[in-house]
Amino acid sequence: MSTHPTYLLNRAQLADSHTLEVARKDGAYAAFEKILNEGQDPKAVTEVVKTSGLRGRGGAGFPTGLKWSFMPDASKDTRPRYMAVNADESEPGTCKDRVLMREDPHGLLEGCLIAGYAMGLEAVYIYVRGEYRLPYKRMQEAIDEARAAGLIGKNILGKGFDLEIHMHQGAGAYICGEETGLMESLEGKRGHPRPKPPFPAGFGLWGQPTTVNNVESIFNVPFIMTHGAAWFRGFGTEKSPGNFLCGISGHVAKPGVYEVPLGITAREILEEYAGGVWKDRELKGWFPGGSSTGIVPADLIDTPMDHDSIKGIGSMFGTGAMIMLDETACTVRASEVLARFYDHESCGQCSQCREGTQWLNQIFHRIENGRGTMADVDLLESLSHGMTPGKTICALSDAAAIPTLAVIKHFRDEIVEHIEKGCCPLKGGTGTAPATDRTEVHA
C-alpha cells in the first residue's frame, strides 16, 4: 500500500478512539482550547479556514471558509445563528462520514466548537440519517461526555463562551442531504428543498442565519487550526488542498474507506489501496464521486482525483466515492438501478424531476429487459436535457440526468446492443434476472 501521510483517520486507529479519554490523550479539543484561551478574533479563525483552501467534502466542493464568511456580521445582525452539520450521507457509494462519526466523534465535535466560535453560533445541529444508529449513538455519547467535561453548553471551560450541540435523527430520504431540504426536515417537515435565494446564510433554519457543512469538512477544521493553513496546503493540490476520505466500492478486491491526498490518480487508489479490479478482471467504467457523477470509461483511470481534473473529463468529483464496474458489469443495468433510485427519491415538487426521473427509470428498465427501441436513446437524451442544468429547485434532477447523458456518451454501443439483440448481452437472456447471473455473490 502507498504511504501518503494521513491525519483524518489516525485517531480512529486507536482502541476506544470514540471515548473522550482516548481522544483527549490524542490531542482532541487542544486546538479549540487554544483559540478560547487566547481569545482569538473569530474573524481570524474564519480567515485561517479560508486561507487553507478547504473545499466542502459533501459534493459541491464549495470553499468552507468562504461559506462561513457569508454569515452576516454579528455586530449588525443580532439574530441567533445556527449550523447544521450534514450527516445525511445518502449519495450512493458514499460511506465515509459514517466512519468519522463512529470512530472519532470528538473530532467532529471539536470542529463544531471551532465553527461555533468563528461564526458566533447559538447552536449546532448534527443531522444524521435515521439508519445510522451506531454513529448517532456514538455522537450522542460523545456530546454527553463533552458536556460533562465542560466543553459544551454554557460558559465553556469558564471562558464565557456558550454553544449547544444537538443530535438530530432523519428518517431516510436522500433529498434531506440537499441543504435546504435538510433544513425543512430539521424543522419537522417534509424534506422539500427551498428555492434559492434567499440563501441559508440570510434565511436558514427558522428563518435565521444558517450554514450547512458536511461532516468531513468540519472534521478537517481542528487540524487546520492546529497546524495552520500552510501545513494543510502541503496536502493535495493547489486548488483542492488536503486529504479526503475515498470510499471505493463495487468490483474491487478490497473495497474500503481510504484516506488519500486530493490529486492522487484514480489508478493509484484502485490499484494500491483497493487491490485492483476483483477476480483478475478488466475495468469497464467508474463513477468518480458517487452515483450523481457521470460514469467514465476505464481508459480515464489515470485522471487525478481532484475537483478540476475530474471536471476536465466531463464528470464531477462529488463526494470522492468511487464506484467501479468490471468488464462483466452492465452499464444499462447500473443506469436502471440509479434511475430507479432517483425516481424513488424525487420529492415531487418540480415536474421536470418528478416526471423525468420516472421516465428515465421506465426507459432504462425496458432497454435492460430487451424491450427498448432506438427512439428510446433519443428520448433519454432529450428528457435529460429537459432536466438539467438549473431547471429545478434543487440538483436532484441534474443528479439523475447527468449520469444518463454520461452513459449515452461513453457506452452508447452497449445501449444499442441491448436494443438490437432484444436482451441484455451481458447475461444472455431477457428479463431482469438476479444479479448473481452476472456478478457472482462475493464471499
Partner 1 sequence: MALPEKLVAEFDQMVTKYPERRAALIPAIHRCQEELDGWVSPDTMEDIAEYFGLEPVDVYGVVTFYPMFRTKPPGKHVVSVCHNISCDLRGAQGILAKVCEVTGAQVGQTSADGKFTVEHVECQGACANAPMFDLDGVYHEDLDDAKVAKILGGLK
Exactly one of 91, 179, 259, 368 binds partner 1 (CB under 8 A); which one?
91
Contact segment (CB under 8 A) with partner 1 among 29-37, 39-47, 179-187, 213-221 equals 179-187
Contact segment (CB under 8 A) with partner 1 among 64-72, 232-240, 329-337, 361-369 equals 329-337
Q: By CB under 8 A, is residue 315 in contact with partner 1?
A: no
Q: Which of residues 338-377 bind partner 1 (CB under 8 A)?
A: 338, 341, 344-345, 347
Least CB distance from residue 176 to partner 1, whole Å? 8
Q: Which residues of 355-392 are buried (b: 16+ CB within 10 A; e: fewer)?
A: bbbbbbbebbbbbbbbebeeebbeebbebbeebbeebb
Residue among 44 and 148 whose Cβ is closer to partner 1: 148
Q: By CB under 8 A, is residue 321 in contact with partner 1?
A: yes
Exactly one of 35, 173, 406, 408 binds partner 1 (CB under 8 A); which one?
173
Residue among 39 and 429 whose Cβ is closer to partner 1: 429
Exactly one of 55, 67, 98, 106 binds partner 1 (CB under 8 A); which one?
98
Residue among 281 and 385 whose Cβ is closer to partner 1: 281
Exactly one of 26, 131, 355, 381 binds partner 1 (CB under 8 A); which one?
131
Exactly one of 46, 211, 220, 249 binds partner 1 (CB under 8 A); which one?
249
Exactly one of 29, 32, 117, 132 binds partner 1 (CB under 8 A); which one?
132
Tell me how far apart the alpha carbons of residues 184 and 322 are, in angstroms, rounded to a whole number.
Answer: 30
Neighbour-count burial of 257, counting CB atoms closer than 10 A to its CB (0-12 exposed, 13-18 middle, 19+ buried): buried
Q: Which residues contact 81 (CB under 8 A, 6 or more apart)?
A: 71, 72, 74, 119, 120, 121, 122, 208, 209, 210
Q: Which residues contact 375 (CB under 8 A, 6 or more apart)?
A: none
Q: By CB under 8 A, is residue 428 in contact with partner 1?
A: no
Q: Hey, how many other C-beta atoms are within 10 angstroms of the C-beta on 171?
A: 10
Q: Which residues contact 34 (CB under 8 A, 6 or more apart)?
A: 225
Residue among 232 and 273 whose Cβ is closer to partner 1: 273
Residue among 76 and 442 whose Cβ is closer to partner 1: 442
Please name the helix (run of DSSP H) or strand (run of DSSP E) that holds residue 117, with its range, or none. Answer: helix 105-119
Tell me how far apart the alpha carbons of residues 23 and 11 are, in angstroms, rounded to a whole number.
Answer: 7
Phi-psi domain of 72 (left: phi exceeds 0; alpha: psi -120 through 50; beta: other): beta
Least CB distance from residue 13 to partner 1, whole Å? 17
Least CB distance from residue 180 to partner 1, whole Å? 15
Residue among 35 and 113 whose Cβ is closer to partner 1: 113
Number of residues in contact with partner 1, rule: CB under 8 A?
64
143, 128 Cβ separation under 8 angstroms = no
Q: By CB under 8 A, is residue 325 in contact with partner 1?
A: yes
Please name the helix (run of DSSP H) or strand (run of DSSP E) that holds residue 328, with its range, or none. Answer: none
Tell me how far apart the alpha carbons of residues 343 and 400 are, in angstroms, rounded to a whole number.
Answer: 9
Q: By CB under 8 A, is residue 1 in contact with partner 1?
A: no
List C-alpha distances in Å: 224 to 27, 100, 111, 142, 425: 14, 17, 10, 22, 51
Q: By CB under 8 A, is residue 45 in contact with partner 1?
A: no
Tell me how far apart the alpha carbons of residues 255 and 395 are, in angstroms, rounded to a whole number.
Answer: 28
* Chain residues in the site for partner 1 (CB under 8 A): 80, 89-95, 97-98, 129-134, 164, 166, 168-174, 185-191, 206, 247-251, 255-257, 287, 291, 321, 323, 325, 329, 333-334, 337-338, 341, 344-345, 347, 433-436, 439-443
